[in-house]
């Protein structure tokens, strides 16, 4: 059980990190998220410059921590998710992470529309982020199930 948990944990952490960077690159280069970050003149005032070396030091550990937390929450359901297969189980993981981790999360998308001033909140940025996280989770979920089945 312990060995199985640590394998799962490692798979989830690695999947979180890789898909985070992949979806982020798509958001920056294809979806136009870069226009909302410094040093662009249209940058949102509370966002840090993603090229700042101090910020770069925290991205990898932050994503590893996220993956660790996802692994802890998902592990009790691992057996059922894996039995569902790569696509169905992967979509279950993707749905959970997307909804609980972004849309319904405290400080997530729903609260942005409640607490942020409509005039100051860039809806385009919210939509880009929505698509970015959807892409990430739709890749991450099936990847977790695929690699978990392969390495367990």
The 10s digit of each residue's pLDDT in 96-106 is: 999 999 999 88
Q: What is the pLDDT of residue 56?
A: 84
Q: What is the CA radius of gyration of the chain?
A: 17
pTM: 0.91
Determine the Cα–Cα distance for residues 43 and 33; give it in Å rounded to an integer: 10
133: exposed, middle or buried (C-beta count within 10 Å: 0-12, 13-18, 19+)? buried
Based on DSSP, count helices (H) and strands (E) in the chain, helices before strands.
Answer: 6, 0
The 10s digit of each residue's pLDDT in 28-52 is: 999 999 898 888 888 888 788 888 8
- State yes or no: pLDDT of 88 exceeds 80: yes
């Amino acid at each position: 059980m312990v060995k199985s948990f640590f394998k799962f944990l490692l798979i989830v952490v690695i999947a979180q990190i890789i898909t985070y960077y992949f979806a982020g690159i798509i958001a920056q280069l294809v979806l136009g998220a870069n226009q909302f970050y410094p040093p662009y003149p249209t940058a949102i005032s509370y966002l840090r410059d993603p090229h700042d070396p101090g910020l770069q030091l925290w991205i990898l550990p932050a994503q590893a921590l996220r993956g660790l937390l996802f692994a802890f929450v998902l592990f009790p359901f691992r057996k059922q998710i894996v039995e569902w297969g790569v696509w169905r189980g992967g979509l279950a993981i993707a749905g959970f992470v997307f909804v609980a981790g972004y849309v319904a999360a405290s400080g997530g998308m729903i609260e942005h529309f409640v607490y942020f001033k409509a005039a100051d909140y860039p809806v385009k940025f919210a939509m880009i982020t929505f698509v970015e996280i959807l892409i990430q989770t739709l890749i991450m979920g099936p990847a977790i199930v695929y690699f978990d089945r392969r390495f367990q």
